[in-house]
A and B are shown apart, each in its own frame.
Chain A
Amino acid sequence: MRLASNAGNFRPVLQTEPAPQLFDSAFLAKLEQLYLVSKKLFRGDHRAERKSRQLGSSLEFADYRNYTAGDDLRSIDWNIYGRLDRLFIKLFEQEQDLHIYFLIDASASMRWASPDPRLSTKLDAALRICASLAYIGLANLDRVNIHWFASALHGDLGLSRGKSQFHKVLEFLRRAPELPGETSLLASIRGFVHRTKRRGLVFLLSDLFDPAGHEEALAFLRHSQFEVHVIQILDPAEIRPTASGDLRLIESETGAAFEVTATDALLRRYHAEIDAFLDGIAAFCLRRGINYARASSAVNFEELVLRVLRDGRLVG
Chain B
Amino acid sequence: MTFLAPWAAWFAAGLPVIVLLYLLKLKRRPLTVSTLVFWQRVLQESRRRALFQRLRNLLSLLLHLLIFLLILCALAKPTFDHFVATGSSTVIVLDTRARMQALDPDGVSRFEKARLLAARYLRDASTSHQLAILTTGSSPAVSSPFTGDEKALRESLTRVSVSDLAGEIEPAIHLAEQLLASRNGEAQIVVISPSGCKIQNSKFKILPVSVGSPRDNVAITRFATRPLLSDPETSEVLLEIRNFGTSASRGNVELALDGKLLDVKPFDLEPGGRSFETFSALPRSARNARGWLTARLPTPDALALDNVAYAVLSAPQQHRVLLVTRGNFFLEKLLAADRQISFELLEPDAFQLPMAAKFDAVILDDALPPGFDLAQTEGNFLFLKTSPFTTPGEPIQQPLVSDIDAANPVLRLVTLQNVTIVRAAPMQLPGAMPGWKFSAPLRSFEHPLMATGSELTGSHRTAALAFDLADSDLPLRIAFPLLITNTVHWLAGAERATPISLQTGDVVPLAQNQTVWIEPQTEPTAPAKPDAKQLARQFFEPTRDGFYRLDQPGGSSWIAVNTFSEGESDLSAASPASLNAAPVSRQSLANLATRPLWQYLALAALALTTLEWWLFHRRRTE
Please give the residue numbers on chain A whose beta carbons come within 8 Å of chain B beta carbons, in ascending order: 9-10, 13, 109-110, 112-113, 122, 207, 209, 211, 235, 238, 241, 243, 245-253, 256, 258-261, 263, 265-266, 269-270, 273-274, 277
Contact = CB atoms under 8 A, between A and B. Distances in A.
Given A266-B42, A273-B42, A238 B34 contact: yes
Contact of A209 (B35, B41, B622): B35
Interface stretch (B23-31, B243-251, B374-382): B23-31
A234 to B, nearest CB: 9
A277 to B, nearest CB: 7
21 contacts: A9-B30, A10-B32, A109-B34, A112-B34, A113-B32, A207-B34, A209-B35, A246-B27, A247-B28, A247-B30, A249-B31, A250-B30, A250-B33, A251-B36, A256-B36, A258-B40, A261-B619, A261-B622, A263-B619, A270-B38, A273-B42
A167 B238 CA distance: 129
Contacts of B32: 9-10, 13, 112-113, 249-252
B10 interface: no
Query: Would you call the interface of chain B mostly helix, strand, loop, or mixed?
Result: mixed
B31 A250 contact: yes
A10 B27 CA distance: 18
B29 A258 contact: no
A249 B622 contact: no
Interface in B572-622: 619, 622
B17 interface: no
Given A260-B43, A265-B619, A273-B42, A251 B35 contact: yes
A242 B454 CA distance: 98
Interface of B: 26-43, 619, 622
Contacts, number: 82
Most chain A CB neighbours (cut-off 10 Å) among B28, B34, B38: B34
Contact of A258 (B34, B39, B622): B39
A209 B33 CA distance: 12
A270 B42 contact: yes
A265 B43 CA distance: 12
Contact of B38 (A113, A252, A274): A274
B614 to A, nearest CB: 14
Contact of B36 (A246, A249, A266, A274): A249
A32 to B, nearest CB: 33
B622 to A, nearest CB: 7
A170 to B, nearest CB: 26
Nearest to B40: A258
A243 B322 CA distance: 103
Most chain A CB neighbours (cut-off 10 Å) among B28, B33, B41: B33
A204 B27 CA distance: 40
Nearest to A248: B28
B31 A247 contact: yes
B41 A112 contact: no
Contacts of A109: 34-35
Nearest to A267: B42
Contacts of A209: 34-35, 37
A124 to B, nearest CB: 14
Contact of B33 (A211, A251, A261, A266): A251
A245 B36 contact: no
Contact of B39 (A9, A113, A235, A270): A270
Given A261-B619, A273-B41, A277-B38, A246 B33 contact: no
A262 B109 CA distance: 67
